[in-house]
Structure 1
């Protein structure tokens, strides 16, 4: 269990608007985003990725570490997390993309 106390300025904003993205493509199917979920039903998947939100968060942390150093061992938290999904559907081809954007704070 984690207890965060924001009664004093015990944190600093390390990075803002860090984003991560993940996509899945397929043939003969349909993709759609509904709320937080992005879903794809298709006969022939072209990518192995099925957990788009998890992959987008992983890409977000990779981008963060590229710009700000290693995250492991630091007291970091994602705040102001926003997500979006986009889908492209044609007669033969479908693609769904999930994007996660967040600010990163570090606690003392």
Structure 2
């Protein structure tokens, strides 16, 4: 998958592996990989697309809080692309604040 993910694809014993970081979507400006990334997004299910949006939105929120604009802008471009592709399917992902999980 052509998304930003430091995930390893090896078959280490589950007891020795660390939890995998979430997959997030970023686009540089310009991004030579954009066509491949968008094709992969179009092939995703609505549930997977929403999960990718949620993880990307959380990363963007962290970047915003840290005032890290260089990290934030590619994430926002990723979020907007996910929203556009979902919208073309009739599946609307509204931009909203992330809610904390109840404890």
TM over 0.5: no
**Larger relative contact order (CA 8 Å, sep ≥ 6):** 1
Give the greater-gyration-radius structure (CA).
Answer: 1
> Higher helix fraction: Structure 1 or Structure 2?
2
